[in-house]
């Protein structure tokens, strides 16, 4: 059985008290914290950048899982490392030379993740499966929290898992977007190792309980 990792996305949390959000995650069964950096160019939304990551680093003891939705990711790898990122996941679509970025991320001592939007064929990831530490399959189009889960994700996961088997790849599989208590069991059974969840955790009355249920589903 896969190890089940929950990575709460703070995009849906209350930014007026970031320290409390970090403390809640510290107390929870989530092993990671998911941080969505958006630049208003790669996606039609702007979220937050280095100062927020540094503030989270100060208060959060969990693994910093940073998902960058930005153009020219290669320019900022060192800055993300300095800001406390431990897993840095960039978009294949935004990368001129994905292998070079993977190498840069590793040189900075971070784990490297690669991700694609739901309309990009899974096949494009094949050359990188033995190079990355994680593949993130987006189950909504990157840019906003609170969107509905795209059901075709399960088929994409199966296709990716087959490719990984053929290549004997051991990278983790993360799924991000519209994840909730209803679809979490099916996502784990299709091979997800890490589930990102924003709205379903932070818009709930009791986020700790949702994390606990998701982790033990
Ligand atoms: C979307 C982000 C997600 C988002 C998930 O671009 O990558 O991490 O915060 O939010 P929910 O769980 O609300 O779909
Ligand atoms: Zn994300």
pLDDT in tens, 11-32: 999 999 999 999 999 999 999 9
Q: How far is the CA of 164 from the centre of ligand 2 (A)?
A: 22
**What local confidence, expressed as pLDDT, does residue 172 receive?**
98
User: Packing angle between helix 18-27 and helix 207-215, nearest 10 degrees?
Assistant: 40
CA angle 22, 79, 107 (to 5 degrees): 105
For the whole model, what pTM was predicted?
0.98
Which atom of ligand 1 is least distant from the CA of 178? 14
Answer yes or no: are the C-beta atoms of 137 and 116 closer than 8 Å.
yes
Q: Is 176 part of the annotated catalytic residue set? A: yes
Q: Is 36 part of the annotated catalytic residue set? A: yes
pLDDT at 187 over 90: yes
The rounded percent of the chain whose pLDDT value lies above 90 is 99
35-53 per-position pLDDT tens digit: 999 999 999 999 999 999 9
Half-sphere exposure of 37 (CA within 13 A, CB side): 25
Query: Which burial class, exposed, middle or buried, applies to 83 when counting CB atoms under 10 A from its CB (0-12, 13-18, 19+)?
Result: buried
**What local confidence, expressed as pLDDT, does residue 3 receive?**
81
Return d(Cα 117, Cα 148) in angstroms, integer: 14
**Would you list the domain boundaries of the chain?**
5-215
Return d(Cα 155, Cα 140) in angstroms, integer: 14
- The fold adopted by the segment(s) 5-215 is TIM Barrel (3.20.20)
CA angle 192, 205, 146 (to 5 degrees): 50
The pick from 149, 192, 198 for probing ligand 1's pocket by mutation, whose C-beta has the most ligand atoms within 8 angstroms, reads: 198
Number of other residues whose CB lies within 10 A of the CB of residue 19: 12
Answer yes or no: are the C-beta atoms of 131 and 97 closer than 8 Å.
no
Answer yes or no: are the C-beta atoms of 18 and 59 closer than 8 Å.
yes
pLDDT at 1 over 80: no
Query: Which burial class, exposed, middle or buried, applies to 212 when counting CB atoms under 10 A from its CB (0-12, 13-18, 19+)?
Result: middle
Q: Output the average pLDDT for the chain.
A: 98
């Amino acid at each position: 059985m896969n190890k089940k990792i929950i990575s709460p996305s703070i995009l849906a949390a209350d930014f007026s008290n970031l320290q409390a959000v970090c403390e809640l995650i510290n107390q929870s069964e989530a092993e990671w914290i998911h941080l969505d950096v958006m630049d208003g160019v790669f996606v039609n939304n702007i979220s937050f950048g280095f100062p927020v990551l540094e503030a989270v680093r100060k208060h959060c003891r969990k693994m910093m899982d940073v998902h960058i939705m930005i153009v020219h990711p290669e320019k900022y790898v060192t800055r993300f490392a300095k800001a406390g990122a431990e897993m840095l996941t960039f978009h294949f679509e935004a990368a001129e030379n994905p292998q070079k970025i993977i190498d840069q991320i590793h040189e900075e001592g971070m784990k490297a993740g690669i991700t694609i939007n739901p309309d990009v064929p899974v096949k494009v990831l094949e050359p990188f499966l033995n190079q990355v530490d994680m593949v993130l399959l987006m189950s909504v189009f990157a840019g906003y929290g609170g969107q509905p889960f795209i059901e075709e994700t399960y088929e994409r996961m199966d296709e990716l898992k087959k490719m990984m088997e053929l290549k004997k790849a051991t990278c983790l599989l993360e799924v991000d977007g519209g994840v909730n208590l209803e679809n979490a069991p099916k996502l784990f059974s299709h091979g997800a190792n890490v589930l990102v969840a924003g709205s379903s955790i932070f818009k709930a009355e009791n986020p700790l309980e949702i994390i606990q249920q998701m982790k033990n589903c």
